[in-house]
Structure 1
Amino acid sequence: MTEQAPARLRLDKWLWFARFVKSRTLAQELCESGHVTLNGASVHKASTTVKAGDTLTLVLGPYKRFITVVELGSRRGPAPEAQLLYQQTQDPERLIGFRGEWEDRPQGEGRPTKKDRRAIDQLKGWE
């Protein structure tokens, strides 16, 4: 008995099947944060459905990836199987200014002071 892939699939499930994220919870957070566009429209709900032929733009870390959905799949398989679910339409774009100025400390300045660490925490949004 072979399983037929559905005509439509939840976006968070597809992102997890295609191994763009490690868990469905992370896929939901990615969608809700506005880092995913589907056919040019921003997606804010993980329950949005995708079908074969849809185009996705994903912001993952310092890169923006452009993907076309080829298949929906029925399970989270190994990486070679997951790569068959999508086709990359363009090379990933490196986002300009992704690294903060706190990551570009000149060599030899030593350990940051307490004041510097507080400024770094504020820049990173931890405070």
Structure 2
Amino acid sequence: MNDPHDHAPAEVRADVWLWAARFFKTRSLAKQAIDGGKIDVNGAGCKPAKLLHAGDRLKIGRGDERLEVEVLALVDRRGPASAAQALYRESEASRQAREARREQRRLVGVQAPRQRPDKHARRELRRLKDEQGGI
């Protein structure tokens, strides 16, 4: 089979690498995360076209998950998940923090899904808001 590192480029765009390393499902989502300030490269902000090099350190925010990874290899094509995991190394501090958050969520338990208030609950909310507005 072909090794994903066979044609390893010297530098790759940040959005392409994040997509190829399977941090985001699409390159568009990776670009949105970068534009939204969820990605830092070497302690500074990032733009989608920023060129990554091996050895760069990234801080990645996905939902409530925070990852700190070091770029080990560069590819510009998406491959299997096993190959994608070889592209980076997560820092030990990041891994421990992620495990602690996972354990905390497990201990808190599953939250009930948010539902829109029904007719009676809306009336109750309106009544409470009116009482507080008069104070």
Q: TM-score, normalised by structure 1?
A: 0.71
Partner of 1:26, secondary structure, is: helix
CA distance in 2, matches of 1:85, 1:26: 19
1:20 to 18, 23, 28: 23
Structure 1 residue 111, shift from structure 2 partner: 6.3
Q: Flag structure 2 segments of 5+ consecutive residues without an equivalent.
A: 102-109, 126-135
Structure with greater strand share of residues: 1
Retained in 2: the 8 A contact 1:8–1:51? yes
Count residues in correspondence: 104
Structure 1 residue 38, shift from structure 2 partner: 0.2
* RMSD (Å) for aligned C-alpha atoms: 2.8
Q: Flag structure 1 segments of 5+ consecutive residues without an equivalent.
A: 95-102, 118-127
CA distance in 2, matches of 1:63, 1:48: 23
Larger radius of gyration: 2
Moved over 6 A (4+): none
1:72 to 68, 71, 74: 74
CA 1:78–1:64: 2 relative to 1, 3 Å: same
CA distance in 2, matches of 1:55, 1:22: 21
Retained in 1: the 8 A contact 2:12–2:76? no
| Identity between Structure 1 and Structure 2 (%) | 38
